[in-house]
Structure 1
């Protein structure tokens, strides 16, 4: 239920603490020390300097939190199957965040934030090769570097040597690139090479690369546009190109005369992925599409601005800007840092931090290779060659390694090979017998480290406890408050009767609130209803795939983008407002206007009533808990905090 979700934030924020000998308060036979309380307070209070009232308010909040947690544990709610499953699912969800080296992760996050501050315009020389046959490409790359060293311009060198024919004609220019667009090594090559200088030669899995940054700009973020594409086929004749250009020009004239962009896109655009959505494309960042296309898109200075027709290899385009999304790059901002950390965790570059963490895992688990000979490698080679005599080299009970108290034997490796033979043998480039054996050891090391990570990583253990305690509070609140209130219709009615005077409407309207998945349709539907408010049903039927509506009585403050200057009356249709969070657009149609202070009936009050009744039940529960677990505050310790 919504109230349960609303409770999540304060629950997670309450956890704090390291152990200390100074007990601040006891509850029953349990205690909380000063340092735990202060750690939690500092984590969740921005009042500077802290006031005695801030401390006192938080003390009551923290006491209530500890009482609820203890009640949940004493009821053994932590043993419920749903609780066990939730903690297991959460553990799996977050564990990867702790399987990387903190120092490396911090570097990667801050580097990514720095890269994402700006876009880089890059030219390149691309020299592909197949498999291990790299000699020809390498020799050509050396020739390109020699030419550049002797003074040849990069554009000329790209035209001469690059195998990317599409960009070689443009001096190797591949356009603007942004962070996370290229594989990480190439991103570093682009961002770390000085402007107007060529990079060192870089070898990827299938090519040699030389980069040449030509410009930088502050990152414009991501942009969402709608487009009308008049396609020209590859190899189109001049007459066909002229015809496409004339059609694009005629559509642009219609737009200048006020025609609807979405209608024109639906009826004319050759972009099969967007025409059915009034031409609206997914948001994109620099480096996603053709450089000319992106230059035109990012040149649009405001929402709803429309470009003149322009040509790319796909044809002639007309663009309309929907929205621009700009992101914070401040590493000192916790939310910004956390968001970027999530992007890094989901990018292949995280493997750098994982590799660094392997060393720590070996140290923390006490990993030790026992067998020091080349027998495992020789056994591996015999296994894949089907050499039965060679397979006898490794005895089933031969001790290979220890990971803490766990021992790995020859039979463990044999079983692993039997299960993983196919994927291991198909890996490219091929793994050596030594690498295969090392892969086995690493997998078992990571497995053991993951299974007992709480023992090795205090931060992980703390986060698990925070989640477990928070989840238990939900369960306890469900039992003691939420379900009781939801199912106690007679109690709700009694509470309403006793407090009926407090349930009154503010200024309100009976209205229809519309939510539309794209702004072009929102504007179109809004204009239709502004001209004829009676067409609600027909509009919802016509646009049922993209428009939803919610009818009811709304206080002014509940209406999307309501402002005090609005004069609301029956038939009023608000402007469509774009929501950057969900990329939807909203507007409302007023049916009837009501003054303030009209009484709410029981049904109209239900949402507010349920919240208030739950609060009353919670207070009664807290009073019971304080009797069950008497709370005693140590005055001397408390005075050392507030004075």
Structure 2
């Protein structure tokens, strides 16, 4: 018992000491203090585990002190109040906030659901009775009763295709009898997709509503996802109004081409010779990847998917464009969930109904987290007082009473009638075929959602330490960049007098060793060497020498001109460094003529030769002077005891 108590006491003391150490001041600069917790957090974030040594910690402390000094100076200069800075910071915050204003758990669930659905393709027909989302109650009831009547007839055994043809208000039903072909996830609006996947093959769905109106659907088939195919084709064009003899001649020609291919004719040559698809002929007839729902003629698509093995051909296929022979290049199955995760996330966050679900979930959560309380009496009273001006988009906030009545509270913020009035005036749009009450309710819902999300967004720094830390990093990083650019980078480039003065003071640090100005004539054969040497003696220009020697073989002679230090070129090192022409033969059978024009004694490099290096060093010098100035104005004091405790 005593041992257990002693262990608990030691643990308690350890955690209390650790907490006290976290809150201990590590260093001060001017009137500001940096605490241990902040420094350790930033150090661990920016240094890999294997790099977290005592020496690296001390070095990082110096960097961090300099960083804090520069940011303090930027704030003192008022740079944080600059509108351009605030706009840039607000842009970063908006991007970062999206991560915290998303229902990640629901998104993950919707991604997993969509992936499972992508494994299946559904063939369904549907009947639609149009009714707008904001329709008057009588119009909504009329549409519902109509779709209910049609469903009862379908359940009773009437042919679904016939019902769709004569009754569906989807215009395409007149040509497709309501059949939508095969589809999978993300290819229909989410409520429709869900009903299709939840309805068994051969059955008729319950009545459901989308943004277009009321639907029923009948699932005709479900099959496993067929993947994607990469194909090439050879096409003979044929007009839809072609004469019979043209049709027969085209068929004889495509059959002849098919026969030659089956007997081993080269596909590329056949496409080049006979295909009339100008857009693919240069690429061997190759087309983009084809999926079940790709906008490709149905006979072509089905023929492409029916080919069993890469390299095999389909029989001639007829479409509205003419005759095709299809060659399978590759089949690609459904990728893994991990491979598709980013694509799935993007599609989930882009599809309106899924986005609506996510937002509704978020708003409900934020309401609960932030203690949302509504004054139902005031809400109902205010909505009841709204008139037809909200339908005409002529509503004026200042013309309405009860502006001071509280509507709801979220956190420490109360929203009043006047806030709702302002929202209406800003977001109202002309509307028809909708009741005043429905329009008012829609506006109020939008107002609540807007305010709940705004409150959450405004308090992200308080709720999420990681968000607060990142925003502080963005804030300080932008200030640091802007001030360093003005004080160091731009100054070093623009201060030409200061840069040249720095060069004069430090030019002995960048010196050329002894060099020679030399021309190297690299000859690949003895004959080329003799010819080159003879032309050099005659004083022939290098351009003409190269033309003559390389007339038969362009690799016979290579000429280079440069200044060389010792060790840069073995052939130049092998001759005397005096004006003259020397011969060097190497073990690989090559001959080199080395022409020394001038001996160049050691000297400092010219300003233009080291301008880039000098600019960088001048920037370092300016920064060093700047840090010294900052430390003189904002004295730095490090708490060595606390630093040593971190090191220990």
Tell me the TM-score range normalised by the shorter chain: 0.5 to 0.7
Query: Is the 8 Å Cα contact of residues 361 and 446 (structure 1) preserved in structure 2?
Result: yes
Q: What is the match of residue 472 of structure 1?
A: 479
1:432 aligned residue (438, 448, 453): 438
* CA deviation string 1:424-478 (max 9, x = no partner): x248799625524523642662585377345665365554433322222221232
Query: Is the 8 Å Cα contact of residues 193 and 212 (structure 1) preserved in structure 2?
Result: no
Q: What is the match of residue 353 of structure 1?
A: 358
Q: What is the match of residue 399 of structure 1?
A: 405
Q: What is the match of residue 588 of structure 1?
A: none
Q: What is the match of residue 35 of structure 1?
A: 37
Q: What is the match of residue 375 of structure 1?
A: 381
- Partner SS state of residue 182, structure 1: coil
Q: CA deviation at 1:229?
A: 6.9
- Partner SS state of residue 330, structure 1: helix
Q: What is the match of residue 209 of structure 1?
A: 217
- Partner SS state of residue 129, structure 1: strand
Q: CA deviation at 1:374?
A: 3.8
Query: Is the 8 Å Cα contact of residues 420 and 444 (structure 2) preserved in structure 1?
Result: no
In structure 2, what is the Cα distance between the partners aligned to 1:628 and 1:300? 79
Aligned residues: 511
1:437-516, aligned counterparts within 5 Å? 438-439=444-445, 441-442=447-448, 445-446=451-452, 449=455, 452-454=458-460, 457-458=463-464, 461-488=468-495, 491=499, 494=503, 498-499=509-510
Change (3 A) 1:611 1:84: same
- Partner SS state of residue 338, structure 2: coil
Q: CA deviation at 1:288?
A: 3.9
Change (3 A) 1:20 1:294: farther
Asked whether 1:183 is paired with 2:185, we answer no
* CA deviation string 1:542-578 (max 9, x = no partner): xxxxxxxxxxxxxxxxxxxxxxxxxxx999xxxxxxx
Query: Is the 8 Å Cα contact of residues 230 and 248 (structure 1) preserved in structure 2?
Result: yes
Asked whether 1:104 is paired with 2:109, we answer no
Change (3 A) 1:110 1:250: same
1:86 aligned residue (76, 83, 88): 88
Query: Is the 8 Å Cα contact of residues 378 and 433 (structure 1) preserved in structure 2?
Result: no
In structure 2, what is the Cα distance between the partners aligned to 1:134 and 1:635? 78
Q: What is the match of residue 529 of structure 1?
A: none
1:145-544, aligned counterparts within 5 Å? 174-175=181-182, 177=184, 179-188=185-194, 200-201=205-206, 203=208, 204=210, 205-206=212-213, 207-211=215-219, 214-217=222-225, 256=266, 258=268, 268-269=276-277, 287-290=293-296, 312=319, 315=322, 329-330=337-338, 341=345, 343-348=347-352, 349-362=354-367, 364=370, 368-369=374-375, 371-372=377-378, 374-381=380-387, 395-397=401-403, 399-403=405-409, 410=417, 413=420, 417=424, 422-423=429-430, 425-426=431-432, 432=438, 435-436=441-442, 438-439=444-445, 441-442=447-448, 445-446=451-452, 449=455, 452-454=458-460, 457-458=463-464, 461-488=468-495, 491=499, 494=503, 498-499=509-510
Change (3 A) 1:480 1:94: same
- Partner SS state of residue 188, structure 2: coil
Q: What is the match of residue 23 of structure 2?
A: 21
In structure 1, what is the Cα distance between the partners aligned to 2:418 and 2:463? 30
In structure 2, what is the Cα distance between the partners aligned to 1:636 and 1:351? 55
Q: What is the match of residue 10 of structure 1?
A: none
* CA deviation string 1:584-603 (max 9, x = no partner): xxxxxxx99999969x9988
Q: CA deviation at 1:143?
A: 5.7
Query: Is the 8 Å Cα contact of residues 381 and 433 (structure 1) preserved in structure 2?
Result: no
Scaled by the length of structure 1, the TM-score of the pair is 0.58
* CA deviation string 1:213-245 (max 9, x = no partner): 73445976xx99998876666677766666667
Query: Is the 8 Å Cα contact of residues 72 and 78 (structure 1) preserved in structure 2?
Result: yes
Q: CA deviation at 1:419?
A: 5.8
Q: CA deviation at 1:83?
A: 0.6
Q: What is the match of residue 125 of structure 1?
A: 125
Q: CA deviation at 1:21?
A: 0.9
Change (3 A) 1:284 1:377: farther
RMSD (Å) for aligned C-alpha atoms? 6.1
In structure 1, what is the Cα distance between the partners aligned to 2:269 and 2:609? 43
Q: CA deviation at 1:80?
A: 1.8
Change (3 A) 1:444 1:127: closer
Query: Is the 8 Å Cα contact of residues 225 and 334 (structure 2) preserved in structure 1?
Result: no
- Partner SS state of residue 432, structure 1: helix
Q: CA deviation at 1:339?
A: 7.4
Change (3 A) 1:56 1:90: same
Change (3 A) 1:29 1:173: same
In structure 2, what is the Cα distance between the partners aligned to 1:78 and 1:392? 37
Change (3 A) 1:176 1:208: closer
Q: What is the match of residue 513 of structure 1?
A: none
Change (3 A) 1:479 1:420: closer
Change (3 A) 1:451 1:55: closer
Greater gyration radius: 2
Change (3 A) 1:350 1:462: farther
* CA deviation string 1:91-112 (max 9, x = no partner): 4555555444454345445655
